[in-house]
Amino acid sequence: MNPLTPCSACPLRKTGAFSANSEAEIEFIQAIKQRQIPMQAGQGIVREGNTSSTLYTLLSGWAFRYRTLSDGRRQIFNFLLPGDFIGLQHQLGQASPHGVEALTDVSLCVFPNERLWDIYRSHPGLGFDITWLCAHEELIVDENLLSVGRRSAAERIAMLLIHLYKRAESVGLGGPDGVPFPLIQQHIADALGLSLVHTNKTLKRLQAMGLYTLGNGWLKLTNPAAMARLADYYALPLRARPLI
């Protein structure tokens, strides 16, 4: 991807997943954008315990937000897909209690966090968009908490597969073979509070039931209705999301 992609030609705006911005808003976003950087899979975008002076929009690729215990056990809070905004999940100017890691090779739009106040002052509509994005991520984390607290292993995995499938499809990543799915079983286990052995057995059982196929890094839901019933999943009408 061109490292100098102008905001007015952002490929994410062509997917239909994001709400439209005025020309003045796009020009403002372009003005506060510092640069565009690539990162390789496994690199830390935000490091636990570090203070960061930047905010990011994930332009391409997948990432995840997590926290690690002293003995190395890890809880993944959320998986991040193109269009997601990174850096507002902790107090600005303070050490981050969590980390964000690139799950695949990614491209990031970089913004200085001190310009956040200019957004609220100059373009309150964009300020509302940022508030909405924060609230939306909290809903995603709440759903994950419900899964970990109350759903069975099969229900948890079914919910995660449906959720990520629909998110990937909404940003134009879908195709005849399904959607790209770069997670390994350890990521699933860390997100859902399951052991690796239990995760492996449950994935095999759901696949044997004919609910999904997964191969060569692509996920396809072969019986989405049955998967939704298993997960107790009821889709809400999709609305266009803000894009910063």
Confidence bin at 91 (pLDDT 50/70/90)? low
Of 182, 238, 160, 189, nearest to 75 (Cα)?
189
pLDDT per residue as tens digits for the range 204-225: 999 999 999 999 899 999 999 9
Q: What pLDDT is stored for residue 2 in this prediction?
A: 44
Contact indicator for 28, 122 with CB cutoff of 8 Å: yes
Question: Residue 140 pLDDT > 90, yes or no?
Answer: no
The rounded mean pLDDT for the chain is: 89
Phi, psi of 56 (to 5 degrees): -135, 150
CATH code for the structural domain at 143-231:
1.10.10.10
Per-residue pLDDT at 101:
97
Q: Token pair for residue 108?
A: 């990031």
pLDDT at 89: 64
Q: Which two tokens stand for residue 113?
A: 């966090």
DSSP 90: S
pLDDT at residue number 1 = 43
The dotted CATH code for 7-119 is 2.60.120.10
Global pTM value: 0.90
Q: What is the average per-residue pLDDT within 57-70?
A: 95
Task: Indicate the domain borders of the chain.
Answer: 7-119, 143-231
